């Protein structure tokens, strides 16, 4: 019987470690809807403070499929991202106050060039480039927090 408990504890540790990515723990789900139909979904960690906004996904070696980092800002304004010390190609989905994706930009690893949203936004979602570039501009996102 004791052997079963040890195995169970080891499995629990493995499951929680698998959920962690790049020093973040996913705390929400972002569903992407087009014409009312769900077309994609991402488990996301949340960057809702200036220090997390600055850190982003710097030094992240890999981003698991269908996961990402959701940036939440206190105010509505144009945003500018960069890829300094970021090693993976990302798509940045800029999201307006109404939950609509207003633009999607490519983030090139290591680039210090600014990546503007083009319009005022309240949120930004960083995901793997290939996954993000399949999402249409104008789609709506629904955020569900754990």
**pTM for the whole thing?**
0.86
Backbone angles phi, psi at 29, to 5 degrees: -125, 135
- Residue 27: what are its φ and ψ, rounded to 5°? -130, 5
Contact (Cβ atoms closer than 8 angstroms) between residue 137 and residue 103: yes
125/93 Cα distance (integer angstroms):
5
71 located within any domain: yes
Average pLDDT over residues 61-79: 97
> Rounded to the nearest 5°, which phi and psi values hold at 139?
-65, 160
pLDDT digits (tens, 9 = 90+) for 30-62: 999 999 999 999 999 999 999 999 999 999 999
Question: Is 14 within a domain?
Answer: no
Domain annotation covers residue 72: yes
Query: Is 140 part of a structural domain of the chain?
Result: yes
Domains in the chain, number = 1
Domain contains 6: no
Residue in this structure with the two tokens 């499995």, named with its chain if needed: 11
What is the span of the domain harbouring residue 55?
22-145
Residue 10 has pLDDT above 80, yes or no: no
Residue 98 in any domain: the answer is yes
Q: What is the pLDDT of residues 100-118, one digit of tens each?
A: 999 999 999 999 999 999 9
13 located within any domain: no
CA 122, chain centre distance (Å) = 14
Query: Residue 19's pLDDT is what?
Result: 61
- Evaluated on CA atoms 110, 116, 117, 120, the torsion sign reads positive
Give yes or no for a contact between 71 and 53, defined as CB atoms under 8 angstroms apart. Answer: yes
User: Cα separations (Å) of 72 from 50, 52, 104?
Assistant: 10, 10, 16
- Domain of 73, CATH number, reads 2.60.120.1140
Residue 7 covered by a domain = no
Q: Which of 80, 92, 72 is nearest to 135 (CA)?
A: 92
């Amino acid at each position: 019987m004791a052997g079963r408990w040890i195995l169970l504890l080891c499995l629990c540790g493995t499951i929680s470690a698998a959920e962690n990515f790049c020093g973040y723990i996913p705390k929400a789900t972002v569903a992407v809807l087009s014409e009312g139909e769900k077309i994609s979904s991402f488990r996301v960690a949340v960057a809702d403070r200036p220090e997390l906004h600055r850190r982003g996904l710097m030094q992240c070696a890999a981003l698991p499929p269908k996961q990402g980092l959701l940036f939440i800002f206190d105010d509505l304004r144009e945003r500018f991202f960069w890829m300094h010390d970021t090693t993976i190609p990302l798509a940045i989905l800029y999201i307006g106050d109404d939950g609509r994706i207003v633009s999607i930009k490519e983030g090139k690893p290591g680039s210090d060039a600014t990546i503007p949203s083009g319009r005022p936004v309240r949120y930004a979602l960083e995901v793997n480039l290939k996954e993000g570039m399949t999402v249409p501009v104008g789609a709506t996102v629904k955020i569900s927090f754990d």
